[in-house]
Structure 1
Amino acid sequence: MSALAKAATGVGCAVLALPLLAALIVAALLNAALPGGGAAAAPSSHALADIPPAMLALYQRAAPACPGLSWTILAAIGKVETDHARHPTMVSTAGAVGPMQFLPTTFAAYAYPVPPDGANPPTPWDPVDAVFAAARMLCANGARGGTDLHRAVFAYNHSEQYVAEVLHIAGQYAIAAPAPTQAAATAVGFARRQFGTPYVWGGNGPADGGFDCSGLTQAAYHAADITLPRVAQAQYNAGPHIPTKSPHSPGDLLFFGTSPSNITHVGIYSGPGLMIDAPHPGAVVRERPIDITRRADYQGATRPASHGSSR
Structure 2
Amino acid sequence: MTAPPRSTVEVFRRGGLRRLASGGRSWRAIAVALALIVPMTLFGSIILMTPSPSVLLGGRNAEDCAEAATGTDVSATAQTDIPRDYLELYKKFGRQIGVQWNVLAAIGKRETDHGRSSLPGVSSGTNYAGAAGPMQFLVSTWGGKTRIKIGPDVNGYASDGDGDGYGDIYDPADAILGAARMLKRNGAPDDLKRAIFVYNRATWYVDQVLEIARRYAANGQIQLPPEADPACDSSYVASAPDDVVRTILEYALAQRGKPYRWGGTGPDAFDCSGIIYMAYRNAGLSIPRTTFGQWPFGVRVQPGSEQPGDLVFFNAGPGTSKDHPGHVGMVVSPGKMIEARCTLCGPIKVTTYGDRPNIVGFTRPLENEDVVEQLKRALT
The TM-score with structure 1 as length reference comes to: 0.46
Instruction: Give the structure, 1 or 2, with the largest relative contact order (CA under 8 Å, sep 6 or more).
Output: 1
TM-score, normalization by structure 2: 0.39
Q: Considering only CA atoms, is the larger Rg found in Structure 1 or Structure 2?
A: 2
